[in-house]
Amino acid sequence: MRHSSLFTAISTLFASPKYEAKYPINDLAVTPQMGWNNWNAFACSVNEHLLLSTAEKLNVVGLRDAGYKYIVLDDCWSVGRDGKGNLQYDPEKFPRGMKYVADQLHSMGYLFGMYSDAGSYTCANYAGSLGYEEQDAKTFASWEIDYLKYDNCFNEGLCGTPKISADRFRVMKDALRATGRSVLYAMCNWGEDFPWRWAHTIANSYRMGGDIYDSFSRPDARCPCTGEEGDHCSYAGSHCSVMNILNKAAYVVHNSKIGAWNDLDMLEVGNGGMDDEEYKTHFSMWAALKSPLLMGNDVNTIDAKSLSILSNPAVLAISQDPAGIPVSRMWRYYVNDTDAYGQGEIQMWSGPLFGGDQVVVLLNGGNRTRMMNATLEEIFCHEMGIAPEIKEDWNIYDLWANRMDAATAQSIIDGTGLAPADVYYNVTKLSFKDGLATGNPTLLGKLIGMVEADGVIKREVPRHGVAMMRLRRSKTRLRAASAHQVPLGL
């Protein structure tokens, strides 16, 4: 083949429809999806009022404009199928139907998420979509949904190898696409059959493990895997603590891709089982690992601390960073100060951000406040040779130091103080991408010091807490008092 025809052949190959899509599935979830799902706080107690009143409240306290745009209905909404096999919503729970809910949510500036299951029944024993994919996708499209959470119960034994699971979940992906409606597809097969190896060809997000439980580190027999088995967990289970999920995610999260994210499960912030530091850690890590951020609390009774966690723009800017690269765990050590469950460990996670910044999280899973250190060498550890970043100076921004104070958050909840639009970063007006590109200070956090080339970052980290930082190349070389030390509290 002559050079020119070889060139033509190659360009034709890349111009073919196979290569047209910019992202693996569709153009959705270019950053991890943000929203609210009823399951963690309400389980099967769902109805029209819950969804619409939550949406209204999220608007009032400013969380819609902080980026949470999907309102996702979970299990227990149907009463089975009619004589023609069409899924029927429960008329008592949804008296005006799903299209009405979708219309209301759309008019409030939200997108609407629906739930079904790639099995004969859902996990709570309602009708599943296996064998009805096309028909159900058409029904969902006629209701104008924008998101489908697709579960894995009662799958008729169609699991056991990646191919069998992938084939089953792909049917709904294709059925949704065939409707012509743009629907974010959130696969929920709990890490079964290694979805991190194949689900990026099928779904916008995929659950990597068992159901979350509102506890920082409590072990539970119902969640048997701990992460020690690497990515080979044979039974995902439920009642998985935050630390349990993180220790499993460490092995798989790097497989995330833009448009196809590892899902660590929905947030528990505000549900009462953890203290403030623990919820900050939970939220920080879900953001840094690029998990979808689906709030799972009762927003109608939200408290000030939860609001100030969920709305923190400096942490949300990590979640929604345009580079879309999850942090990696750079080290993990066990410590002697264990908690009531005998758990005690410290970890450091790090990853690149858009524009050459770096996010670093020092996680203290021990039972007391401690000083923690991370060297630039550990933070920028490369497999091959010395990372050039180690030889540079970095400004350190603390991502929690500018957290909204409790009084301001309470006044927003009570509607007695400033409007949220005056306090928050408003993504409805300026996207995270554009805000980051122009260096919007709200998204950076608070400048607390600098680490020089070859230096070390030292931070005091509370029990079960994090020090979460953005590093940005220092333009003006600030001399630290002693070489390689961080001048804290600038």
Which residues in this chain contact ligand GAL in the complex, by CB under 6 A? 39, 74-75, 122-124, 151, 153, 188, 211
What is the number of other CB atoms lying within 10 angstroms of the CB of residue 367?
17
Q: Do residues 465 and 475 make contact, with C-beta atoms less than 8 angstroms apart?
A: no
Q: Where are the alpha helices (DSSP H) in 19-161?
A: 39-42, 48-60, 97-107, 133-142
Helices 162-179 and 133-142 meet at what angle, rounded to 10?
40
200 vs 207, beta carbon nearer ligand GAL: 207
- Of 98, 115, 105, residue with least CA distance to 55: 105
Which residues, including other chains, have CB under 8 Å from residue 343's CB and lie 6 or more apart? 217, 219, 243, 365
211 labelled catalytic: yes
Nearer to ligand GAL, 151 or 452 (CB): 151
CA distance 258 to 28: 9
Q: Which residues contact 438 (CB under 8 A, 6 or more apart)?
A: none
Nearest to 217 by CA among 229, 205, 227, 207: 227
Strands across the sheet with 205-207, in order? 261-263, 205-207, 184-187, 147-151, 111-117, 70-72, 34-37, 293-295
3-state per-residue secondary structure call for 130-166: CCCHHHHHHHHHHCCCCEEEEECCCCCCCCCCHHHHH
| CA 80 vs CA 101, 330, 470: distances in Å | 19, 48, 49
For residue 261, the one-letter residue type is W
Contact 67, 30 (CB under 8 A): no
* Rounded least distance, CB 294 to ligand GAL, Å: 9
Q: Which of 211, 214, 298, 398 is catalytic?
A: 211
Active site residues: 151, 211
